[in-house]
Amino acid sequence: MVVTALVLAFAAPLNAQDGPQDYLSALNRVRSQVYVGPLVWHEMLAGYARSYARLRGDCHLILANAPYGKTIAAFFSDDSAVQAVSLWAMVRPQYNYQTNTCAAGTNCLQYTQVVWRKSVSVGCAKVRCDNGGTFFACYYDPKGNIPGERPY
């Protein structure tokens, strides 16, 4: 699976929330926009995300093969789960459902993983980076972005 990481700078949120329900609410709101069923939290996936995120304490986005679908994001400040999901969702306009492709020169695979109909469970983690930023990772099962298949 190919995943492209996104890095953006946002102002630090007040009272950032990063619990399982915060991720689920944000992810399922995006999924509902394309009539895809909700994800459920899976603690084993969250543990997998925590293990991966801890390795990224330097906030360098390095992609690794995994048996699960993955979305990752890094910010230059202490941001929230909702902002990470918003980052993945904001590339929706780059995805063309009719051709099942991303717009030329763009990558929308994080968005298509979020809305992948066959993915039913998710686990996520957030880590503060050594440079003061934040790193987010979410793992999905089953993984999406299967070549030739549409996300929904």
Dmax of the chain from CA atoms? 42
How high does pLDDT run on average in the chain? Answer: 85
As a whole number, mean pLDDT of residues 136-143 equals 96
pLDDT digits (tens, 9 = 90+) for 108-128: 999 999 999 999 999 999 988
Q: Is the pLDDT of residue 6 over 60?
A: no
pLDDT digits (tens, 9 = 90+) for 24-60: 999 999 999 999 999 999 999 999 998 887 765 666 6
Helices 81-89 and 20-32: crossing angle in degrees, nearest 10, is 20
Which domains does the chain carry? 20-141 (3.40.33.10)
Q: How confident is the model at residue 1 (pLDDT cuts 50, 70, 90)?
A: very low
**Given the structure tokens 């690794």, which residue do they identify?**
64
As a whole number, mean pLDDT of residues 58-67 equals 69
Provide the 8-state DSSP code for 99. Answer: T
- CA distances, 140 to each of 10, 11, 143, 147 (Å): 25, 28, 5, 17
